[in-house]
Chains A and B, each alone.
Chain A
Amino acid sequence: MIPISYSHLLQLAMPEVIVVLTALIVLAIDLLFLRSHSTRLRFAVAVGLASAGCIAAILRLYLAPQQANAFNGMFLANPLTNLLQLALLALTIVTLLLSADSTFTEHVGEFALLILLATTGMMFLVGTQDILVIFISLELLSLSLYILTAFDKRCSRSSEAALKYFLFGGMSAAFLLFGFSLLYGLSNSTNLIQIASTIHGSLSPLLVIAIITTIIGFGFKVAAAPFHFWAPDVYQSAPVPAAAFIASASKVASFFIFFQIMTFAFAGVEGSAAWMHLASGWVPVLAAVAALSMLLGNLVAIVQSSTRRLLAYSAIAHAGYMLLGIVAHTQQSLAALLYYVITYALATLGAFAIIGIVEKHSGSDSLSSFDGLSRRAPALSMCLFVFLLSLAGIPPLAGFFAKFYLFVATLNVAPGLLWLVVLAIAMSAVSLYYYLQVLKRVFVTVPPEHADKIHTPPLTLTIVALLAAAVLLLGCAPHLLLQAILQATR
C-alpha cells in the first residue's frame, strides 16, 4: 500500500470537503447577514448556496473522477462510489429545492447545514470499506436526521417522532457497534475484506451474534420489519423535506453499505435461503426479514388513513423487496438493487413533495384531503399518478423495470429463491390496492364544495414535473441508468 499524504487525501475527498465547506458558509451567511430578513428570502439564499455547493461537488466528481484506496480501505474512490455520490448529491439538491418554499422553521441556516452534513455522512459512508468509518459516517448521518425530524418546533408530534427515532436509532447503533466490536475481536482488522479472510467461512457463535446485531442495526436504518417502528411516526410527523430526505437519499446510502458489509465482511458464511435447502448463514436471516417486511408493510398499509403513514408502510414493503437484492448478493443483484433504490428515491421524493403541498393547503395529510385533487391541481395529480403507479410497479414506469430486474437477478442466483420472488410479486399485487385508494381520491372522488384550486409554487411544480418525467423516462429507457450502474459495478 502506498502511503498517502494528508494533502493528497484532501484532494481525494474534495467533493466531501466542498459539501462541508458549503455547509459552514451557508450557516455563516444565514446567521451573520440574513437573520433579520424574511424566512422566504433566507430559505431562498440558503437553498441556492447549498445547491450550488452540491453542484460544485457533482462537477468535481464528474469531471475529475478519482480512483483510490487509501489507508487500507478507509477511503475509497472508484466508479461505483462516484456514481453513488453523484446520485446522493442529486437527491440532496432535489430535497433542498423542494424545501425552498418551506415556512416551518426560522433556523434556516441550521436546516441547510444539517442536510449537507447528512449528505457528507452518506458520501463517506458509501466510500469506505472500514467498519469504523462506516460507523462514524452512519452516526453523522443519523444524528443529522434525528435533528431534522424534530425541526418543526411548533409541532409537538415532530418532537415526539424525533425522540422515538433517536431512541430506536441509539439502540440500533449500540447493536451495530457491538457487532462491529465482535468482528474486530474475531479478525483483528476493521477492513471488511480482511475480516472476511480471517473468518474462513466458519460460523462461530460470536460470528452469529455479529451477524444478527449487524442485521438489526442496518434493518433499523432501512426500516425493515421488525425494526421499523420508528418509520410511520417519522414519516408522518417530520417536516416534509426531512421526511423526504430520510425516505430517499438516506435509503440509497444505507442499502448500498448494507450490501457491502453483508457481501464483503460475511463472505463465506452466506448459507442459503433456497426453498427446502436452507443452510445457516446470514442469507436465510435476511430472507426472513425481507419476507416479513413485505408482508407487514403491504398488509398494514391497506388500513392507513394518513398518506404519509401509508408511504411509510409502503417504504417498509419496498425495503423488503430491496433486501432481495442483498439476499441474492451477486454483481447483478447489486446493480438491480441500486437501480431499484435510486428510482424508488425519485418516486418517493416526488410523492412527498405533493403530499407537502396538499398538506400545506388543507392542513392535513389524511386521504380525504386528496379528494378531487385532479380538479384542483391537475398537473400535480398527473405527477402523483406517475409516482404512485411507479411505486406499485406498473409499466412503463421505472418501478416496474426495477422490480422486474431485481426479481430476475434474484432468480438467477438460485431457482430455490422462487418462493421469495413469488411472495414479492403477490405482495406487489396487494400494494396496487392501497395506491389505487389514493388515486381514487384524487381522480374519482368529487372535490368538496368549498375546495378551491391549490396553488403550487412554480419551483416546486417544476421539480415535481421533472421527477415525474425522470420516473417515466427511466421506465421507458431503463438503459440510461442501468448502463452507468453496470459499468460502475463491473
Chain B
Amino acid sequence: MLAGTIYISFFGALALLLLPKASTTAARILALLTAIAGFAIALTAFVSHRTGELITVSHHPWVPTLGIEYHLAADGISLSLILLTGIVAITGILFSWNIDKRTKEFFAFYLLLIGAVYGVFLSYDLFLLFVFYEIVIIPKYFLIAIWGSTRREYGAMKLALYSFIGSAMVLIGIIAAYVVAGAKSMSLDALAAYPYSHHFQMAAFPLVFVGFAVLAGLWPFHTWAPTGHVAAPTAASMLLAGVVMKLGAYGCLRVAMTLFPLGLTPWGFHVLGLGSWRDVFALLAIIGIVYGALVALVQKDFKFVIGYSSVSHMGFILLGLMTLNQIGLSGAVIQMVSHGILAGLLFAVVGRMVYDRTHTRELAALGPMNLNKAIPFAAVTFVLAGMASMGLPGFSGFVAELMILVGAWHAFPVLALCAGLGIVIGIIYIWRAMQKAFFAEPAIAAVQPPMPPISLPERLGAILLIATSVAIGLYPQMLLKVIVPALNSPLFDGLRKGGWQ
C-alpha cells in the first residue's frame, strides 16, 4: 500500500511528460492530484499504524547473488517523515501554480524528486536506500538550473556536487560495511546486527555520518544550502529545505548511527576538550545553530535570511541526534517534521507571495512597499510562521526545540546553553526580517503599482502548513506515540547499548 506513494509519483512524472504540449492547466491538476494521492496513502498508513509496528510494505529479492533485496518497510520515524513529504509536496504544487515556463517538465522533475524522497524514507535495504538517495540529486539540479533565479546555474551545480560528494562518502562507507559483513546482505537490520570491530566503526561512522550530514547542512559543509535555496524556485526551495535536507538527517539516524553505534563512544583521549565523534558533531551542530542565526541576522536578501535560518534549525536536529537520549532523539525527529513544515511556509511567503509580486528580495527595498497593507495575508502568514520558527509555544517548533534542549541539557549542559543563545538570536533575526520587510515605515512619495491579490492556491497551501504546525504544537503526542516506540525498536539496539541514557 505505502509503496504506492513512490509508484504514483513516478507514474505521475511519466504521465506529465506524455501530456500534449499546451496543456499547462492539465499538468498542474495532474501533479496536484498525484501529490494528493500520495499524501492520502501516507495519511491512511499513518492513521492505521499500530504503535511500535514495523510495516513491511514490499519484500522481494532483487539481486539474489549479492543479497540485495527490494525491501520497503516503515516504522514510526519513516511514517512521520512520509507524512511530512506528502504535505510539503501538495503545498509546493499549490505555491508553484503560477509556473508557466515549461510547466510539464517542472512538475515531472518535481514528482520524480518526491517519489525518490518517499523511496528513501521507505527503504529498508541499504542498496535501495542509496539508489533513491541518489535519484534525488538530478531533479534537484534541473529544478534549480532551469526555473531558478539569482545565480541559478552556480547554485544548482554547487548543490549537485555537494550532494554527490556526500553520497560518495556514504557509498564508500556502505560498500565497506557490506564487504566486511561478508557481502551477504544489504538489509538494514542484518547490517545493524553485525558486530563490526570497534576500530572499523570509529573510521566508518564519521565518514557515513558526514556524508549524510552534508545534505543536512552540517556546518562547515552547509554552504550549498543558502545559495541553493536562494537560487531555487519557490517549490524547489520548499522541497529542499522541507524534505531533502531531512533526507540527510534521516540517513544520519537510520544508517550511520544504527550501523556504527560504537563510533560514538569515547576515543580514550581528548583533543581540545573533545573526547569522541559525538562531541565533535555536537560542537559542529552548535556552531551551525549559532553561526546560521548570526549570519541570518545580517542578511540584506530576504531569502538568504530564511536560507541561513534553515542551517540554524538543521543544527538543532543534529544536536538532538548527538544527545543519544530518548527525549533528544525524539525531539530531533519532531524537529525534522516541524522544520520541514515551517521552512516550507517561510520560503513560500518569501519566494512566492512576496518575490513573485515585488520582484525584489532586498529587505531595504521591500520595506517602503508597505507590504502589510498591500498583501496582508502574506504578512499574517509570515508573522505566524516566524512565531512558530522562533519557538513560541503552541507551534511545532516549540515542542521540538524544547525536547532537544532538554536532551542536550542531560548530555552537554554547556552546549545546551549555547543552543539557547541560538534560539534568542533566532527571535531577533525573524523579528528584524519581519520588521524590515512588512512593517517598515511606508515611503510617502512612492506610488505602488497594485499587486495581484493572494490567490486561492496560495491561501490553501499556507493554511494547510500553519494548521499542521499548530496541530503538532498542541498535540505532539500524535507524533511522539509513533516515534518513541520506533526508537525503542531492535534496530536501535546497538545505539541503546552504546550510550542510551
A residues near B (Cβ < 8 Å) are 374, 389, 394-396, 400-401, 404-405, 407-408, 411-412, 415, 418, 421-422, 425-426, 428-429, 432-433, 436, 440, 443-444, 478-479, 482-483, 486
Contacts and interface: CB of A to CB of B under 8 A. Distances in A.
Given A395-B135, A415-B176, A444-B146, 20 more contacts: A395-B134, A396-B135, A400-B131, A404-B127, A404-B175, A407-B171, A407-B175, A408-B66, A408-B179, A418-B172, A425-B172, A428-B168, A429-B164, A429-B165, A429-B168, A432-B161, A436-B141, A436-B160, A440-B145, A479-B63
B138 interface: yes
A411 B182 CA distance: 11
A372 to B, nearest CB: 11
Given A411-B179, A418-B176, A425 B168 contact: yes
A2 B62 CA distance: 44
B99 interface: no
B64 interface: yes
Dominant SS at the A interface? Answer: helix
Contacts of B62: 479
Contacts of B2: none
Contacts of A422: 172
Contacts of B141: 436
Contact of A479 (B64, B160, B164): B64
Interface string B184-208: 0000000000000000000000000
Given A444-B142, A444-B146, A412 B179 contact: yes
Contacts, number: 77
Given A433-B161, A436-B157, A394 B65 contact: no
Interface string B112-141: 000000000000000100111011011001
The size bracket of the interface on B is 20 to 34
A394 B137 contact: yes
B219 interface: no
A443 B171 contact: no
A278 B63 CA distance: 34
Contacts of B168: 425-426, 428-429
A482 B132 CA distance: 21
A482 B161 contact: no
Contacts of A411: 175-176, 179
23 contacts: A394-B134, A395-B132, A396-B131, A400-B131, A404-B175, A411-B175, A411-B179, A412-B183, A415-B179, A422-B172, A425-B168, A425-B171, A425-B172, A429-B161, A429-B168, A432-B164, A433-B161, A436-B141, A436-B160, A440-B145, A479-B64, A479-B65, A482-B65
Nearest to A428: B168
B153 interface: yes
Contacts of A415: 176, 179-180
Contact of B63 (A395, A429, A482): A482
Contact of B65 (A421, A440, A486): A486
A335 to B, nearest CB: 9
Contacts of A483: 65
A400 to B, nearest CB: 7
A110 B154 CA distance: 49
B178 interface: yes
A401 to B, nearest CB: 8
B172 A421 contact: yes
Interface string B10-47: 00000000000000000000000000000000000000
Contacts of B165: 426, 429
| Shortest Cβ-Cβ A-B pairs, 5 listed | A395-B131, A411-B179, A429-B168, A444-B145, A425-B168
Nearest to B170: A425
Nearest to A403: B171
A474 to B, nearest CB: 11
Given A411-B175, A433-B157, A443 B134 contact: no
B151 to A, nearest CB: 13
B29 to A, nearest CB: 22
A418 B176 CA distance: 8
A367 B146 CA distance: 18
